[in-house]
Each structure stands twice: as C-alpha cells, then as structure tokens.
Structure 1
Amino acid sequence: MNFLRGAIFFLTAMLIQWWWATHFSLAGLAPQLLLILTVVVAARQGPVRAMCLGFGWGLFLDVLNPALFGANALALTLAGYGTGALRRLVDVTGLAPQCVVVFGMTWAYFLALGMIGVVFAKYFVWVGWPAFLFDPFYNCLTAGVLFLFWTDRRVARRLL
C-alpha cells in the first residue's frame, strides 16, 4: 500500500505542476511545485527519497521542454541532495526554515540549469529576470500552503 501511495503522490504532483503552469500562471510565472516538493521531501524524509523523486520529476519536466534534456533531472536531484545535506546541520522541518531553504534552492536551481547549459550546450540557460526575481517568493508562498496541508490535517479539512 505504501508503494501505491507513493506512486499516486508522484503522478499527482506531476499533473498539478503541468496544470498549474499551463492554466494558472500569473504573468507567465508559475511556482516550481516539483522543486518545492523535492525540498520538502528532503527536509522531512531524507535526501535519498527526495533525490529519487526529484530525478523522476526532473525527467518529466525535461519531456515538457526538451531543449537541454536531463538538466531538470540533474538540478532537482542536486536540490534534493543539498537540502538533505543541510538537514543534517539545521532543523529544516519548520515553516520558516523551509521557506528560507525553498527560496535559496529556487535560485540555486535556476543557476544550476544555467551552468548545466554552459557545460553541455555551450550557453547559459537563463530563465529570465521576472522568473529569477519573483519565483522564489511565489515558491515560498506555495511552500507555506503545502506546509499547512502536510503538517496539520485539521487545517486541510476546514479549508476543504
């Protein structure tokens, strides 16, 4: 049953990421839900599970935009590893630390995509200034909502 729940979580996250980015982007900006979930899973369950999920989710993102295939998979895997390594030094299970880590990992993710582009495609893959400046805040807001749903089931029941 645990495998089934994990598979449903994995596929539902991909569906929500695609749906939100396609239909509910604000001024072309959408939160990187899969990056946020990779960070949250690494903070709560450890780096190995987050790296596996991040790699799978990254392949999904690479299929959606195959310009530099594998870049998202590598970047999300590194985000899971980085958060897992940070988890050993700092308690990142609270709301404020998770928002700080999501904020930093969003910039690290964008810069990692750019550097992967430099190494493999000989050009810096730039997400653009609006995404670079505003997505970390959008991701933090989304991470806060996810934190409430993940930690307090009573809040989720009241809102639904």
Structure 2
Amino acid sequence: VYSLSNHPFMDKIMSKTQRKNGTDRDTIIQAMMLISSNQEQEFTSFRTKDIDTYVTDYADQYLDRADTLKEAMDRFNEAFDGEIKIPSTSIPQILYSGYRIVKDKKSFSRLAEKVSEFITTYDSNEEYKQYVQSGTGSKENVKGRFDYWRGIVKTLQ
C-alpha cells in the first residue's frame, strides 16, 4: 500500500493536502477493496470500520493483486500529462477499472479516453452524480460508482 500510495501517478491526482492527511493511502486501500470484491464477498463500504475490518482480516489474501494495480497506475501515469482533477470519491473506482483492463488485457488507451470523458462531463453526469451527493462512503453509493465503472470496463475491448 505504501509503495502504491507513493506512485508518481498519485502526484497527478492528489493535492499536497490530500497526500499529507493520508487520502492517498486510503484511496489505495479502497481500490484494493474493490479489486478484492467477488461473488462471495463485496468490499463496497468505505466507512472507517469496514475499511479497518478489510485491512485487518482480508488484505493479506489479496496482496498478490498489487502488482497488476501498479501496472495500471504506470499506464495511467503514461496516459495523462500533468495534474488531473478527479474527485477523490471516484479515484478508487478508476484505479479498479485500470486494474481490470490490465488483468483482462483490454485496450488501456480506450479506458484513458473514458476517464478523460468522465472528467470533462463530470458536472453534467446525472447518472453518476446520484452516488456522490451525501454518504459517499456508504455501501449503496460506493456500489453505485463501482457498478458504473464496471459497466464501462465491460464495454471496452
């Protein structure tokens, strides 16, 4: 988690304040929670106690997936120049999407286009906005954002 939170891509998507208050670390843990979600168990609540439970009880089982996430972050870093304004509530889902694209050997450049499009149309994206109004860490809202990005990943080749 520490090495991923220090990845150069994080400098493009996190402010100095976010880096200082640990948002970068939390974001990586949340991305790993989404990556670890499967048919039997979904880690889609980003409430503090649920994050703590994931870290203490489950994280070690999924550490082998960190290399693929790092590769996705490497590719995001290459795809985007300079600072990127992504709301922090959406970064774990976008990192998850990158992980899936790398893992499934799909077109990363198409995902990068989708992320750019998402950032550009964010303010007018009513479908997505319902999941970022209030209680952004709740299971329902995290799952809504997760399913939104899962849908994008499914459409890419």
CA radius of gyration, larger in: 1
Structure ranking higher in helix proportion: 1
Does the alignment reach a TM-score above 0.5? no
Q: TM-score range by the shorter chain?
A: 0.3 to 0.5
TM-score (norm 2): 0.36
TM-score (norm 1): 0.35
